[in-house]
Chains A and B, each alone.
Chain A
Amino acid sequence: MRIPLAIIVACALVTGCKRASAPARPDGGGGGAGATVITQPNGPTIVQCPATGCPPDSAGPPRDGGELVVHVEAEPAILCDLVEHDAWSRWIAENVVTETLLFQDPWSGAITRRLAASFEATADALTLHLRPGLKWHDGQPFSAADVVFTIGRARDPAVGADQRSDFDPVSAVETPDANTVVLRLTRPAPFLKQALAHLSILPEHLYKGKDLRRAEASRAPVGTGPFKFVSWKQGDELVLQRNDAYWGEKAHLDRIRFRFVRDKEVAFELYKRGELDVLWQVPATHFDEVRSDPKLTGHRLLSWTPRTYFFIVWNSERGRLADPRVRRALTMLVDRTRFDEVAFGGHARPITGPYAPGTPSYDATITPWPYDPAAARKLLDEAGVKSMKLTFLYYGASRSAEQLGTLMKEDFAKAGVTLELASVDFAVQLDRLRHHAFDASALQWTLSLEQDNYDLFHSSQAAGGQNFGSWKSPAADALLDEIRKTADDTARHALDRKLHRLVHDEQPYTFISMREVESLLQPRVHALLPSQDGFTFARAWVSH
């Protein structure tokens, strides 16, 4: 079996992934409108979550106490999400142990308060008023100094935080008093509030003068959140405990145990034995059997779509791949529907561009290029390509990438394109991507609700940035530059849609799909809802 790696599993985080939990409100956002709930006498309760989020379950009232055991596939190396880019690192820590200044609803994108009791945004400043009297889990007082410290680290290029460029418009960070932080802006900062909503504030007294990766606090995080860190036995499990001194609404659970099980099949086995309460992702091979398994009666099966899309990046600087017609032809040779069926049992949604479908940035009028080998062959002829040889680079442990590769190999051959599969380990793939030493590669990105695609598509990002395909388009550059300067949401979304259309025409990526995830919860688990940003641990409770 292929062994997944701690660092890669979930996604490349374009901007932080956040977890949904609003302490002073009921379950994050107004989720669930339009959900379909199917209760079965001989099978699990199937909940189809719409784009507004998963609906809360109707059981109640919540009971305090008990322990929750959560399956984690890829154990993070450290728990400091400023430098650890793995999804689970965030899902365990952010807004569970540590907290952010603002909170972003993972479904609607609405930004509200959290550590900041209130905030004001003007054209040249963002002022945040912190809640007074907060304490860190170790008893030290929380203050604006911690915020300034954290933002300083986020902006430090040597740290490599995802949010760094979101703070570019900030010229100065001021603290008029211990509970106020003012960010002075030199120009509009459209992505700043979102960045703050995904920036866990770090305790300065534990990190000052230390390297973020090496500090003790990154292995035993100290925060202000509803849960406190207890212990972490590497390779085994990580334990959190309820923070009874929490400033907001206290959590119900006594303890959460995150159990690290690399193999999805083994985890599934353990779930069935009752050793795990939460399975974030049912393995694709069991999708159908799980829906009608009588042994899972009373369990909840939540079907939802994370904002992660699977795609093929073409090296737009190499030979024939520089011609958009060739890339378009290759896209038309990829049978995305068949791939979705084979890889995800059909549980996937199409996507045509680098924005979250259903958001105003996504141009819903664009239809995907069809799977049409004949038309592809014609396009190739038009571009003067008789035959072509390409190598498809992918991370060997990714089963879906391998499935995609084998499907493509077969289909491409029909149009005279020879595709060779190169399965490599993660480090090699990264190296080849960064050195642009590939023809095509399979990757996935996670989308923010306000997506800044500058790093992916701007020509300046080809050398050393995330523009692995070296796509250089002056039109795209102009749009991306403009997007970064447009604070007005409506105007910016219109620009986003323009970029969407451009990317669709030029196909620097072949967009495959967004896979649906089925999360499985034991009958005793209540009020635990998954989302792109993690689980609602603060609201969850167990019935025994």
Chain B
Amino acid sequence: MSAQRTLWRRFAATPGARAGLAILAVVVVAAALADLMPYGPEAQHPGGISAVLAPPSHAHWLGTDDRGRDVATRLVHGARVALLVGPLAVALYVLLGVAVGVTAALGRRVDFAVGRVVEIGLMFPTLLLLLAIQGVTSSTSLAEVALAIAITQWPYVARLTRAEALRVAALPHVEAARAVGAGRLRILAVHILPLAVTPALTAAAFGIGQAVLFETALTFLGFGVPPPTASWGELLAQAQASGLAPWLLLPPTVAVAAVVLACNLVGDGLRNALSARSSGGAGA
């Protein structure tokens, strides 16, 4: 059986992994077809308070918010934001985290330095950085939110990668390669990197879900994707400002939970597929 089929079999064998994939597929499709929704995400119902903060009805399946905007439409458009910010943030921090973490295998001195850099990364004043980005540019775009999330998360990936890189570096065939005189960088690139990347990839899957949660939190605090863009965090913030009306609070909560759940299930599957170990081990 080919390596790919083995990977898929191991992936599919993990409970829930296929369900997770299905959920993500639904979200992606919904995001792609968002423009087919009957209303625009920013279309404020012209005229009148009767159309504002209305509970679900025939015309608006999930009701309207305090500007008369259709909640269902904004929910679906929010998927776009989630699917843009999540993978972008994750790609950024996986790249950075792996790059930093894997250099730890270059030697004890470098390892020490990497350890300190990661420590600084953990202590970084993220809130401040977010404001700095916002304050210096005239508005925040999705890219900047993704960057902000990436800056908070890369140390964790770096740590994972470093641990894995060190473990791989101690493996017999790698030791042998060094004994034979292969250069450190070559060993890094050829032997260590491909294997050390594994936990990072798994972390990436979980990370997309994490990033969505992060964006929610940031927008809730007022730093994420700015209004009027419909992100799930924005919907939650509006729910909070509108007295927690259930039709405003539940849809984004369920949406975020679904995506995060899906990412976690897929992440589990990936971990099973990519690693030789079969026990539960750590959650992301």
Contact = CB atoms under 8 A, between A and B. Distances in A.
B259 to A, nearest CB: 22
A3 B52 CA distance: 24
Q: For chain B, what secondary structure do more than half of its interface residues adopt (helix, strand, loop), or is it mixed?
A: loop
A409 B42 CA distance: 10
B181 interface: no
A423 B66 contact: no
Interface in A385-444: 391, 396-397, 399, 402-403, 405-407, 409-410, 420-425, 427-428
B113 interface: no
Given A3-B221, A409-B228, A422 B139 contact: yes
B135 A1 contact: no
Interface string B223-238: 0001110000000010
B120 interface: no
Contact of A1 (B49, B67, B240): B240
B134 A424 contact: yes
A265 B241 CA distance: 7
Contacts of B134: 424-425, 428
Interface stretch (A160-168, A246-254, A338-346, A498-506): A338-346
A285 interface: yes
A2 B241 contact: yes
Contact of A265 (B44, B53, B138, B243): B243
Interface residues of A, number: 32
A410 B41 CA distance: 11
A2 B222 contact: yes
Nearest to A342: B67
A341 B52 contact: yes
Interface in B19-76: 42-44, 46-49, 52-53, 66-68
A425 B49 contact: no
Given A286-B243, A341-B52, A421 B67 contact: no
Contact of A342 (B44, B138, B139): B44
- For this complex, into which size category does the number of interface residues on chain B fall? 20 to 34
A283 interface: yes
A399 B241 contact: yes
B42 A425 contact: no
A3 B228 CA distance: 18
A402 B227 CA distance: 8
Nearest to A337: B47
Contacts of B226: 396, 421-423
A391 B138 contact: yes
B131 interface: yes
Nearest to B221: A3
A421 B220 CA distance: 18
Nearest to B50: A341
Interface string B120-163: 00000000000100110011000000000000000000000000
B73 to A, nearest CB: 14
A346 B52 CA distance: 12
A421 B234 CA distance: 15
Nearest to B138: A422
A424 B138 CA distance: 8
Interface of A: 1-3, 265, 268, 283, 285-286, 338, 341-342, 345-346, 391, 396-397, 399, 402-403, 405-407, 409-410, 420-425, 427-428
Interface of B: 42-44, 46-49, 52-53, 66-68, 131, 134-135, 138-139, 220-222, 226-228, 237, 240-244
Nearest first, the 8 A-B pairs at minimum CB distance are: A406-B228, A1-B240, A423-B226, A2-B222, A422-B139, A428-B135, A285-B242, A341-B49
Given A391-B139, A396-B226, A420-B139, 11 more contacts: A265-B240, A265-B244, A285-B243, A341-B48, A391-B138, A403-B66, A403-B67, A406-B42, A422-B226, A423-B222, A423-B226
10 contacts: A1-B240, A342-B52, A391-B139, A397-B222, A399-B241, A406-B67, A409-B42, A421-B139, A422-B138, A423-B222
